[in-house]
Amino acid sequence: MQHDQPRVTLYDTTLRDGNQGLGVHLSLSDKLRITQKLDELGVHYIEGGWPNPTNEIDLGYYREVKKVKLNARIAAFGSTRRPGVRVEDDEFVNALVASGAPVITMFGKTWDLHVEKVLRTTLDENIAMIGETIAFCRQHAGEVIYDAEHFFDGYRANPVYAMETLRTAQQAGAALIVLCDTNGGLLPDEFLTIWREVLPKVDCRLGIHVHNDSGCADAISCLAVIEGAAQVQGTINGLGERCGNANLCTIIPNLQLKRGVPLISPEQLSLLRPVSLFVAEVANLIPAVGQPYVGEAAFSHKAGAHADAVRKVRQSFEHIAPEQVGHARQFVVSHQAGSSTMLEKLSSIWPNLDKKDPRVKKLLYHIKVLETSGYQFEAAEGSFELIAREMLGQFTEPFSVLAFRVIEEKRENGEAYSEATIKVRQNDHVEHTAAEGDGPVNALDHALRKALVRLFPALAEVKLEDFKVRVLDGRDGTGAKVRVLIESSDGNARWGTVGVSTNIIEASWLALIDALKFKLMRESLKIAADR
């Protein structure tokens, strides 16, 4: 069944194409968390991965994502059947169908060089592979999107054959055909020439998928929509192989704010920077400071003529209002940045927020001090809410840690041994206990739970789902600050917590403490609401 769609749809492939980028390794938990953020942003299609018998993470993704209520349509990515194999016997095509995804995005070869030199098959066999696979997938999925891989290179080399592959996909039932610049070497003028030749010859709706090897992916993607594309594919922060993919964080505001193309709501657009930071944090990547719209420097002004002018007339040095994309103007010298974003976060905790309340000012200052020291709260909403509720008087720490010690030992058999000792106080009661672990952080986690579960049984539900460490400034060597991000869950909810220190054990400890305090805070709020 086809769904009503806007004229132009957004197709996000961060979880698949973006995950192929250098240094990007998304876990199943990472993918599910990012999926929810993309859905909140208003992306129409989310490509979760390539489900096949050798990819347990992606197979797991399609099982688990069915449990999540989403507005976006989930797409499974795969290829045409293999040469010489019947489509119904191809294990990769069958795995694609077995994913149960409502949308199947299938790619095929349009460049004769790839057909003959890479697949090592005939041009006629490739045509059969495209048509048979799309027709087969149409029997099992509500919508099939065909990605014409290497289309622009293929069209330049053999336009007659490249067009034959598109007509085959159209006749087999593809709902949309996406023209791909897979090598990423296309320039905007070349794109326009080919696009304008192809568009009148195809009855099917066309989309665009561009890699950024020539630095033109965003520009070409925007041009494609202006020239009639029905779908634009890309990734958050431009993540992807080699030089990356077209960057949705640039494309969305460019089209919506500059060309009036309605893609998402203004409220969703204001989530753009938070989503950009969230994906970077979960992927354990340092956000690009100079990234358009969402980078830290996008609306920063140093003292002098620029800063003075923008205070008087915003548009003198800002091409849009930063709030439109969830950003905030920053005057570097005076350290005035981020208050609008923080106030937006606070409104969910404090619905009738009075911005003039002195506690708000105090909290915002405290958050900025923490950010200056290396903290980041985009993927650590648990730590942010703890700080906010404590400073607003809505939560009091239920326990205090008097001391802890970690022992690391390398034994004669070559095995490393970790033991943590901890002393915790709750009112007048003191728990003093020890536990072993696979490493110092694991030992601390075990000791902390061992001490606290006796006092707070609800903590037995808390499970550590993910653990990430980022060095904040490698130039300091082993004395550099590190930021530790922990994701926890209790079976019903997930939350992130963060700790920063020059000592990796202390940074981990701070994040662990926050994870358990957050659970207790939620329990206390629930009890108060039930009264």
Q: How far apart are the first and last CA of the chain?
A: 47
pLDDT reported for residue 251: 98
pLDDT of 92-122, one tens digit each? 999 999 999 999 999 999 999 999 999 999 9
* Phi, psi torsion values for 214, nearest 5 degrees: -105, 5
How many domains does the structure of the chain reveal? 3
Residues 61, 208, single domain; the answer is yes
Q: Which amino acid, 56?
A: E
Task: Answer whether 0.75 is exceeded by the pTM.
Answer: yes
* pLDDT, tens digit, 9 for 90 and up, residues 415-426: 888 999 999 998
The reply to whether 74 and 149 lie within a common domain is yes
Whether 283 maps to a domain, the answer reads: no
**How confident is the model over 299-324, as a mean pLDDT?**
69
Q: Is residue 90 part of a domain?
A: yes
Identify the CA nearest to 317 among candidates 301, 337, 294: 301
Verify that 13 and 90 share a domain, yes or no. yes
The Cα–Cα gap between 261 and 269 comes to: 13
CATH of the domain at 407: 3.30.160
CATH number of the domain that 523 lies in?
A: 3.30.160.340
Per-residue burial over 383-405, b = 16 or more CB atoms within 10 Å of its CB, e = otherwise: bbbbbbbeebeebeebbeeeebe
Lowest mean pLDDT among 278-287, 442-451, 473-482: 473-482
**End of a domain among 240, 261, 282?**
261
Is 93 within the bounds of a domain? yes
Contact 450, 427 (CB under 8 A): no
Non-local (6+) Cβ contacts of 296 within 8 A are 287, 289, 330
Q: What is the pLDDT of residues 18-72, one digit of tens each?
A: 999 999 999 999 999 999 999 999 999 999 999 999 899 999 999 999 999 999 9
Q: Looking at residue 334, what is its pLDDT?
A: 35
Range of the domain at 424: 399-455
CA distance 221 to 204: 18
Q: Are 56 and 44 in contact (CB under 8 A)?
A: no
Judge if 408 and 477 occupy the same domain: no
Q: Contact at 8 Å (CB) between 168 and 130?
A: yes
Evaluate whether residue 406 is within a structural domain.
Answer: yes
Q: What is the pLDDT of residues 122-159, one digit of tens each?
A: 999 999 999 999 999 999 999 999 999 999 999 999 99
CB 285 within 8 A of CB 238: no
Residue 274 lies in a domain: no
- Is the domain of 384 the same as that of 243? no
Q: How far apart are CA 485 and CA 281, in angstroms?
A: 8
Same domain, 108 and 210: yes
DSSP state for residue 77 in the 8-state scheme: E
Mind listing the pLDDT tens digit for each residue in 231-284? 999 999 999 999 999 999 999 999 999 999 999 999 999 999 999 999 999 999
Does residue 333 have a pLDDT over 90? Answer: no
With beta carbons less than 8 A apart as the criterion, state whether 310 and 316 touch: yes
Percent of the chain whose predicted confidence (pLDDT) is above 70: 92
**How far is it, in rounded angstroms, from Cα 9 to Cα 27?**
27
Q: What is the mean pLDDT of the chain?
A: 90
Q: Same structural domain for residues 423 and 384?
A: no
Q: Residues 177-185: what's their mean pLDDT?
A: 98
Residue 320 lies inside a defined structural domain of this protein? no
pLDDT band (50, 70, 90) for residue 4: low
Query: What is the number of alpha carbons within 13 Å of residue 222 lying toward its C-beta?
Result: 18
> Which CATH number goes with the domain that contains 88?
3.20.20.70
Q: Cα separation of 206 and 174, whole Å?
A: 10
Tens of pLDDT along 517-526?
999 999 988 8
One-letter amino acid at 59 equals L
Q: Where are the beta strands (DSSP E) in 360-415?
A: 400-410
Cβ proximity of 17 and 31 under 8 Å? no
H-helix or E-strand spanning residue 62: helix 56-64
Q: Phi/psi at 449 (nearest 5 deg)?
A: -65, -40
For residue 334, being part of any structural domain is answered with no
pLDDT recorded at residue 291: 96
Last residue of a domain, one of 261, 289, 317: 261
What one-character-per-residue DSSP string does 430-447 give?
Answer: EEEEEEEESSHHHHHHHH
| Structural domain includes residue 303 | no
Query: How large is the C-alpha radius of gyration of the chain?
Result: 26
**One domain for residues 73 and 194:** yes
Q: Are residues 22 and 129 part of one domain?
A: yes
Half-sphere exposure of 115 (CA within 13 A, CB side): 24
- pLDDT of residue 219 exceeding 90, the answer is yes
Domain shared by 125 and 56, yes or no: yes
Q: Mean per-residue pLDDT for 303-318?
A: 61
Q: Say yes or no: 144 and 191 in one domain.
A: yes
Identify any residues that bridge with 425 across adjacent strands, giving them in sequence order.
400, 430
Last residue of a domain, one of 432, 455, 478: 455
Tell whether 359 and 498 lie within a shared domain: yes
